[in-house]
Structure 1
Amino acid sequence: MEKHYSVDDLLFLMAQLRDPQGGCPWDLKQNFASIVPSTIEEAYEVAEAIDAEDFEHLREELGDLLFQVIFYAQLGREAGHFDFPRIVDTLVRKLVRRHPHVFPSGELRGDNRADAIDEAQVKKNWEAIKAEERRAKGEAGTLAGVAVGLPALTRAGKLQKRAAGVGFDWPSVDGALAKIEEEVAELREAIAAGDAPHIEEELGDLLFSCVNAARHLRVEPESALRGCNRKFERRFTAVEQELRRQGLQPGDASLDELEQLWNLAKEQG
């Protein structure tokens, strides 16, 4: 029977990698800050595998992402901050606290009889509980606690969602779309004036307004943009392939020729 390793095995492996006597030189050099870029990269690779519905690859990428948590846990244990069991304990306690409709006793394995509740009420309760947690941490502002390190599109959506929660929002997507048109006009004015700092500011306002429209339409802007990137990549690759079939490179073709090939690629998807 094939042996299957466990989380305990993974923790042991990580400790061996960080063992000053015989561990891996690269792993021994790392610290909390140095592995952050890898953590972000692994999270995006998980998202990419999900988008592609490549579940064999997803299993591998989820393992890579889990390894990041294990690495932080080892660093935390060595520094005396926390260890993996404490991470798990904190997570379980938080999730039990945030799901009172599932765990009304406040205990994971207590006398729990799920209350009848719809998804809208679940979301409302979740946000209320998170807001209480932020207040307990001294984060009293409506926008407090929205991580600065998030991708800008994602952070814009979270900031807007928080503001909408206290009534600062367009009543419908029409207001958001009108704001996009307004920002396009202001961007054109800045371009006409040749005001570089103002151009950047107005372009930021336009992107922020697009995120607002996406939120009203219940579209995840990062996901939408990833889809657009894949579409552009697919179509431009088709243009390149056709040019190579003709013995040409993209730089050898005129803009009109590229446009014609692009339109053909669009017709094919």
Structure 2
Amino acid sequence: MNTREQQLQAFGRLLDIMDELRLKCPWDKKQTFQSLRHLTIEETYELGDAILNNDLEEIKKELGDVLLHIVFYAKIGSETDTFDIADVANEISEKLIYRHPHIYGDVVVKDDEEVSQNWEKLKLKEGKESVLEGVPKGLPAIVKANRIQDKVAGVGFDWEKPAQVWEKVQEELAELNAEIEKGNTDAIEAEFGDVLFSMINYARFIKVNPENALERTNKKFINRFQHLEKEAKKINKSLHEMSLEEMDVFWNESKKFYK
């Protein structure tokens, strides 16, 4: 691995390149916070995909893309004398020191759960009126639900045992079925949301990341369905021409390869 000096030299090289691109490249010169925003979101999702695939080489590349965006934003900030990369680094350093009094102070904690609880308490001391202020409005719904539940649990608003949460899931399912029988479309949607929210909460108790779990199932389904498509082509049939029974043969076969 590289030494700290080599790491700093590499980061300095990136800053120098960013300065030059901002000065000389027509595309880089035009970019703003707003124009980069959607690209940053895209790069973050690409990093997420690499992590899910456990592709270390790809993770390294995608981290570079994300780092470029951070450097880019800091460069734009420096052009108006608002902030630069040093301000960004110092800001997060001070926050980390403040929010880790068990490392940089005299607070004693017994486990990571207490660290999380202290973290949320310190945020409130910083002037936040709600522990939920830090949940971005634009997060995908499953990720947002997970973060909401994490944050309220950090201040003690939580179930005590997984069995209690599972009972809540069953309760919400019963309420959903009742509304389905009534045929009330709006109520069905509301109860379906409650079922999902309770399942995401249960996932937290059984140590499962719901976003990762669903994406894993998405990929499994895609692989199995594409196997079905390939096998259908081998016998010169389109899926429209096949019965469900015929498709099931290839679908069940795909389960041997994609679990």
Q: TM over 0.5: same fold? A: yes
Is 1:124 equivalent to 2:126 in the alignment? no
TM-score (norm 1): 0.82
Specify the code of the residue in structure 2 equivalent to 1:11. Answer: L
Q: Shift of residue 126 of structure 1?
A: 4.5
Alignment CA distance shift 1:189-1:117 (3 Å): closer
- Residue 18 of structure 1: SS of its match in structure 2? helix
Partner of 1:134: 124
Q: Shift of residue 116 of structure 1?
A: 8.2
Maintained 8 Å contact 2:120/2:131: no
- Residue 144 of structure 1: SS of its match in structure 2? coil
Distance in structure 1 (CA, Å) of the matches to 2:108 and 2:176 = 50
Partner of 1:157: 146
Pairing 1:72-221 to 2, within 5 Å after superposition: 72-104=73-105, 118=110, 120=111, 122-136=112-126, 138-221=127-210
RCO comparison, higher one (Cα < 8 Å, 6+)? 2
Specify the code of the residue in structure 1 equivalent to 2:117. Answer: E
Q: Give a deviation string over 1:14-60, Cα, whole Å, max 9, x none.
A: 223322xx4323x3333223222222221221222122222122211
Structure 1, unaligned stretches of length 5 or more? 106-114
Maintained 8 Å contact 2:116/2:154: no
Maintained 8 Å contact 1:183/1:202: yes
1:7 maps to which of 5, 11, 14: 11
Specify the code of the residue in structure 2 equivalent to 1:132. Answer: L
Structure 2, unaligned stretches of length 5 or more? 1-5
TM-score (norm 2): 0.85
Specify the code of the residue in structure 1 equivalent to 2:59. Answer: L
Alignment CA distance shift 1:163-1:101 (3 Å): closer
Maintained 8 Å contact 1:99/1:126: no
- Residue 140 of structure 1: SS of its match in structure 2? coil
Is 1:30 equivalent to 2:65 in the alignment? no
Instruction: Report % sequence identity.
Output: 37
Alignment CA distance shift 1:24-1:131 (3 Å): farther
- Residue 34 of structure 2: SS of its match in structure 1? coil
Q: Shift of residue 130 of structure 1?
A: 4.1
Residues paired across the two proteins, number: 252
- Residue 133 of structure 2: SS of its match in structure 1? coil
Partner of 2:3: none
* Larger fraction in helix: 2
Alignment CA distance shift 1:193-1:126 (3 Å): closer
Distance in structure 2 (CA, Å) of the matches to 1:77 and 1:45 = 28
Alignment CA distance shift 1:51-1:75 (3 Å): same
